Amino acid sequence: MKKHSARVAPLSACNSPVLTLTKVEGEERPRDSPGPVEAQAPAGAEAGGRTSRRCWRCSRAQLKKIFWGVAVVLCVCSSWAGSTQLAKLTFRKFDAPFTLTWFATNWNFLFFPLYYVGHVCKSAEKQSVKQRYRECCRFFGDNGLTLKVFFTKAAPFGVLWTLTNYLYLHAIKKINTTDVSVLFCCNKAFVFLLSWIVLRDRFMGVRIVAAILAIAGIVMMTYADGFHSHSVIGIALVVGSASMSALYKVLFKLLLGSAKFGEAALFLSILGVFNILFITCIPVILYFTKVEYWSSFDDIPWGNLCGFSVLLLTFNIVLNFGIAVTYPTLMSVGIVLSVPVNAVVDHYTSKIVFNGVRVIAIIIIGLGFLLLLLPEEWDVWLIKLLTRLKVRKKEETAEGAADPGSGPQSKNRRARPSFAR
């Protein structure tokens, strides 16, 4: 048996650019063909037993896939909505969005250690930490992770990661979490447009329509609050965060391509190291200049900060490695489902007004997001499905026309042998 290898590519989802699985390569074990004696054997019970066992295995596998898919969707939805709401709650006592971004990004360092624990528990051929690290470093080139590679291939993504999170969290201070979460869903439309322009990806009319819907939803969301300066600034911050996230994904695909599970975990841990080494000075400067100031460390809501960081880390882990047990589309559906969850919470905890314009804007952006989830060959599949339905309808019509004429004859033919003995 060959090992299963998975390649992942970056996909920005919600408030942080993350890496999501795009391709799984494997090799099935070949089945031995039956010998001459087996081929001549009666096929009744044996074939029926094989078919039933095969269907049972298939149904069990499908049920397992569905079960894990539901679990992943619920985990993505709850972790993302929970982290957003907890960030909003944190700002009531701790008005420091950049410090919160820095604190949560430091937890990225845990990605590779957690991956290695999973490797030790699941892999048949266990490697040491040093061996696994060296193998994952091949992702950066033949020379591994050198100082030059660190500053040219990791540092830019660390900056984009910080900007994405900071702009998103800063927007939560300005507008409600429902608007922030739904506006960030436009990220996928920006990814498509950048990929089409920079990466020369395949042109798809339905995705252009989705991008237009996303832009229309942004305008309508701005109009819903009457173009107030406070609201416009918050919406601009969210759109900027979505743009940084889209740029992160496209640049990753352009410069680094795709990565395996271990390589993605190592890359995210490196972003955490970059944050600790080079971004730490910024919260310190903001504190002493009193831009983000708190009177004492006892006043910091450590429970909220750690809770937000744990939920965000959980969200990124599930979004990165959930593809091993389910489909990536389901994880994206979990992101969309977090919007109504935030809307329900905002309805009971804040003074948000769900007027007609806001509801239509949310529906338009959600529809555009779902259109972007369609596979590239969706039109071919749709044509095949319609063709099959037409052929089946013609066959049923032909059978229905032939049945009335053949009914009496078949009855006579069946009746004759019983009397002619």
Q: Residues of the chain with pLDDT > 70: what percent?
A: 78
Per-residue pLDDT at 40: 41
Specify the DSSP element, H or E, that contains 8. strand 5-13
Per-residue pLDDT at 8: 52
More confident residue, 410 or 378: 378
More confident residue, 391 or 44: 391
pLDDT score of 185 more than 70:
yes
Per-residue pLDDT at 14: 41
Per-residue pLDDT at 403: 57
pLDDT score of 211 more than 80:
yes
Give the 3-state secondary structure of 357-398.
HHHHHHHHHHHHHHHCCCCCCHHHHHHHHHHHHHHHHHHHHH
Segment 208-230 shows an average pLDDT of: 80
Per-residue pLDDT at 275: 95
Most confidently predicted of 66-75, 107-116, 198-207, 312-321: 107-116
pLDDT score of 277 more than 90:
yes
Burial degree of 173 (CB within 10 A; 0-12, 13-18, 19+): middle
Per-residue pLDDT at 380: 63
Segment 398-408 shows an average pLDDT of: 60
Alpha-carbon distance values, 108 to 90, 233, 250, 265, 306 (Å) = 20, 29, 21, 9, 13
pLDDT score of 64 more than 90:
no
Phi/psi for 128 (5° steps) reads -75, 165
Q: How confident is the model at residue 272 (pLDDT cuts 50, 70, 90)?
A: very high
pLDDT score of 19 more than 80:
no
Segment 63-79 shows an average pLDDT of: 85
Q: How confident is the model at residue 47 (pLDDT cuts 50, 70, 90)?
A: very low
Per-residue pLDDT at 208: 85
How far is C-alpha 91 from the geometric centre of its chain's CA atoms? Answer: 27
| pLDDT tens-place string over residues 230-253 | 788 989 999 999 999 999 999 998
**In 3-state terms, what secondary structure has residue 24?**
strand
More confident residue, 291 or 380: 291
More confident residue, 44 or 263: 263
Strand partners, 25: 5
Per-residue pLDDT at 49: 52
Per-residue pLDDT at 56: 52
Q: Give the least confident one: 38-47, 53-62, 162-171, 213-222.
A: 38-47
pLDDT score of 264 more than 60:
yes
Per-residue pLDDT at 385: 72
Q: Residues of the chain with pLDDT > 90: what percent?
A: 28
Distance CA 226, CA 54 (A): 61
Which amino acid type is present at position 8?
V
Distance CA 77, CA 306 (A): 19
Predicted TM-score (pTM) of the model is: 0.77
| pLDDT tens-place string over residues 124-167 | 787 888 888 998 898 888 888 889 989 998 999 999 999 999 99
Which distant-in-sequence residues (6+ apart) come within 8 Å of 62 by Cβ? Answer: none
Instruction: Give 275's Cβ-side CA count (13 Å radius).
Output: 27
Segment 180-194 shows an average pLDDT of: 88
| pLDDT tens-place string over residues 282-328 | 999 999 998 998 888 888 899 999 999 999 999 999 887 877 777 77
